[in-house]
Structure 1
Amino acid sequence: MITIVSVLTMISALIVMAMGALLVAGADSITDAILDQADISRDDAEGALEIAGAIAVVVGLIILGIAVGLYKGITVFWYIGVIIYLLCIVGSLVTISSGISVVELVICIVVLYYLFRPNVKEFFKV
């Protein structure tokens, strides 16, 4: 059961990092779509996308660290996991229009469910 939680957390981390990498790599082509709808300079749009992508990669790395803590059964990571996955659900609901958000929402709900299972709480000594 604990392995499921940590593996799903690792998958979440990889999704976030992949989205960040895609933002950084595709900033140029995404900028064209933004410029059609917004009145900002090309450099500003590309810069904003690259910064957002870099932040997403860092967040993904943090989530990966949380996955390791969950795998090891460290108590504080249970609390961090609950907070992160509640925020994940909110964020996924806000951006539900993309297919990735639906996958992320399902993962967040499943992990949060598992974190509150009695045997999982016992494992984390919560």
Structure 2
Amino acid sequence: MNHPVKTLSQLRPILLGFRKAAGLTQAMVASHLGVTQQTYAQLEANPEAVSVERFFKVLRVLSVDLMLTQSDQPQSKVVENQKGVARSAKKPASAGKSRDKDGKPVTGPATKTIARKAALSALSSGRAAAKKRENW
């Protein structure tokens, strides 16, 4: 059976369905992958955040083939971001530029200083806490 995937949010129910159709538990899939059940549960809950390599390993365990086909429909100018929210494909002119406390664009050496301060602030507030990762 074919399962067309048009958005990343469709991956979760499809993976879940393939795993259950194969009669496997999360623990069984995790065992085949060499990871803990909790690690696989996180992947299954948020498959759009996993690397392509890991995604293919899961597909192999589930005996699922990935097939890409060309659509007859023209591509839209609207794209979906990682949270599933549609946005314009064109970035605003100010995107990615550092700004000072008054919201004015900052250029030159001050830009690096602001970026460093933001990174240090994130580290000190615990927002950038390192996660333990498993190699698989």
**TM-score strictly above 0.5:** no
TM-score (norm 2): 0.31
Greater per-residue helix proportion: 1
Larger radius of gyration: 2
TM-score (norm 1): 0.33
